[in-house]
Structures are given as C-alpha cells and as structure tokens.
Structure 1
Amino acid sequence: MTTYKDIGVEWHGHVAVVEIQRPPLNFFDNALIQQIADCFEALEQDDRCRAIVLAAQGKAFCAGADFSSSGKALFDPDSPESAIRLYQNAIRLFDCKKPIVGAIHGAAVGGGLGLALVPDFRVVAPEARFAANFVRLGIHPGFGISSVLPRIIGAQKANLMLLTGRRINGEQAYEWGLADQLSSANSVRDDAIALATEIAECAPLAVESTRATARVGLIDELRERVKHEFSEQVWLAKTKDHQEGARAVSERRLGEFKRA
C-alpha cells in the first residue's frame, strides 16, 4: 500500500486504522485532506478492509487550520483555488464506501470538526472538544458542516454551535448525539477499533449496501451545499471582520468586529 507523508495505516484484522500524524495539534491543509482521501479510496479497493478507524496522534484530533501560517491561504479571496481543492477532497472523504469510525481524543475545531463528521460513528473522550468556530473567524462554515452537523444533532443544536462558535466537550457531545460512545482518553482508539471490528464481522456487501441506502442523497446534497459555503466564504474572506477574526484566534482573544 502507498506510504503517505502525514498519515499512517495500521491493520487490525479487517479494520484499517488511518492515523493523522501531525502532532501535537494536527492542523490541516490541502495536502493532509488529499492524503486521507487518497488513502480512503485505496482502502475502498482493498478487499481486506471492511471498516476504517480515523484517529490521530498528539494532543488534538484536528485543531483546524493554522491561521498563523499556511492555513491562511485556505481563505484567500484573491486565490480561491486552495479552498476549491480542499472542498473537492472533503467530498471524496464523505463519498467513501466503507464504514468509518472516528476515534476523537482531543479538539476537533473548525475544519477539524468537519473531518470529525466524516465518520459514521464517533467514539470520544470526555476531554474531547468540538467547535464550529467559523463565526469567530468572521467566515462562513465550510467542509459541508452546515449540512452534516444538523443531520447528526438536529437543526437547533447545530445552530447553537454554528452561531456562537461555542465549544462542547465529549460528555455534552455524547448527550447531543454527536458522539456515539464515551470512553476514557486511554481507551478511545481501542474502543473505536472494537466498534469497527463489530461492523467488520458482518457480511461486508450487506453492510455497504445498507449504509448506501441510509446515505441516499447525502453526497448530492453535500456537493450543492459546499458550493454555497464556498461562495459565502469568498466574499466574507474579503471583509475586515475576517482579518480581525483570524488575528484574534491566533492571539487567543475575542475579536473586535465592526460589521465591515
């Protein structure tokens, strides 16, 4: 199997554990998301793989884009190609035909939350943190979050997260249905592998067929929603509020927004 720069693959029977390897915070960019999408597509073609676990090294699952460096380019209104590629690869992740379990041990923020929404199920630690912090950055949500998050936790709770940028911990995520299983930080990955193994013990063609039926319309909806998210991000990225939001997040303070 292909070797990737920023992810590793480990086998547990018919379960492939795909591990993000950019510790401690596992900030994402196009290169990382493309590697995961390429890996998922390779696993789709591998008959050994009946389920996937998406996990990460380090302190965070994925703390979003690094706005102190290359992550800024994801929202450059004068060069939108980067965001276009990112969301094309995001669709590839959601379009994976194999069932996926997420092992979420730390923060999943912004686009990292989007990545955490890709799995069918999430096993989380109480210390995990989930946040759609886009409005604090002065930008519109992306990565299909505005479509997928309400599907999982309902429109009202999703709006609460999207319009406040509020962080919720693993226990609240479990209460809201964002997490399917609550485990200790030391056992999150093992428990995610156990759940994936339970799926992998079933007839794989029947699992994939049943999953596809449950997800009918999802990818078409996501393609349209991502186009809308992107168009909103393009004009908002040109605002002074977005510039202030990016500075504020980097400096760990509240933004001083001017509606400009």
Structure 2
Amino acid sequence: MTHRILIVEDEPSIAELIAINLTHAGYKVEKAMQTDIASAMMKDQLPNMIILDWMLPGKSGVQFAKELRSNERTKALPILMLTAKSEESDKVLGLDSGADDYVTKPFSPKELVARVRAMLRRQMPIEDTGPLTVGPLKLDPSSHRVLATWPNAESKAIALGPTEFRLLQFFMANPERVHSRASLLDKVWGSEVYIEERTVDVHIKRLRAALVPFDCDRYIETVRGSGYRITKTPTQT
C-alpha cells in the first residue's frame, strides 16, 4: 500500500522540496497552501499523515493541529510539525498542540523522510501482544481500541493519538517495570530517528490527559529520577 501524505506549507519551494523527496521515497504526495484547503482535501478521504507548517496564512498550524486532535475523525492522524521556531518552549508548544514530531527549518530532506518513515511505522502495533489488560484499561492492538471498564459500569472507548496508543501498548505489555525516557524513545519511537527526550514527557502528558475523564490517568506513574511505568495498584486517589 502506498501511503498518502498531505503537505500543508505556504512556501512553494519548501513544499516542492518535501514533495520531491517523499515521492522519490515511494509516497503519494498532495499539497495545500492553507488549512482551509487542507480541510477540503481531507473531507472525503484522510491522508496517512500530514506535514504541517507552523506559520500559515489565516489559521496557524498550531491552531489547525488542535482542531484535528479535537475531532474524532482526525484525532489519530499523525502530524509532523514543520517550522523555523527552534526554541525548546516552541517545540513543547508544537507538541502540546497535537503534533507527534517536530522538524525545524532549515532541515535535512533525508532526516525528514526518515522521520516520516518512523511515524508511519508507529501506526503499526509494537508487537503481536494480543489483547492487554491493566486495571480498568483494556487494549486490543488488532482493532486499535482502548476501553475503560469499571465494575458495574458500561465500558467506554478512549480515543488516543497514534503515539499515545503505542506508549500505552508498550506500558501495558510491560506492567510494573520502570522505563527511562531513553528506553521509551528506543522502543516506541525507534532508534533510527533523532528525537529529544523531552518529547517523551509531552506525550506522557497527552496520554494522561486522555485518560483523566475515565479516572485512569493515575495508573501511569512517574518514578522520580528514573522514568515512567504503568501499575496495577496505583497509590494516587
């Protein structure tokens, strides 16, 4: 299957550079110069991922990413944020808005293609773990569904982005074990792509936020100085 990638970039030369490199890598590429055009292009069929520039005319990439994450149809769409902003606070803002990864301009086309490949790989299950259960959380890799199931209550579906789903799957496949940020980057993101450890904290925050309405966030614990784990017996109340 050929993956479709939508580039939302208002600078034609940059959009064309990205498109050429992704096409040579075997991807089908579409381009939009504004978010409203991108929305119209996604109306009938979603791409496999979107490369989204931060600074766009009209609605910014950050605003658009937040809208995509708040919409059930596009909530799990992988987003790679592309921007000239390189300060750590800007990277955190981009990730907090819903982006799964972040590339600053000027960028290496080879690195960008590598990150695209890694993000698309993360849409696949980490391994054939089969259905997983930790506390009220039930995760099925084959159907890509997560449920919160409490006694005497109806099971409720939890919507997660692709990276948060992989994080939760990895945690649930390895309960009670503490995982460092470096280990999580290697196991969940992959060792071939350069991503800062701070990225892990942002995605843990997003995972917990998605679990809060179901009273399941307390199962993801921070172990100070070591990393994170999922536990069957949370101490938080």
**What band does the TM-score fall into relative to the shorter chain?**
0.3 to 0.5
Asked which structure has the greater RCO (Cα within 8 Å, sep 6+), the reply is 1
Structure with a larger share of its residues in helix: 1
Structure with a larger share of its residues in strand: 2
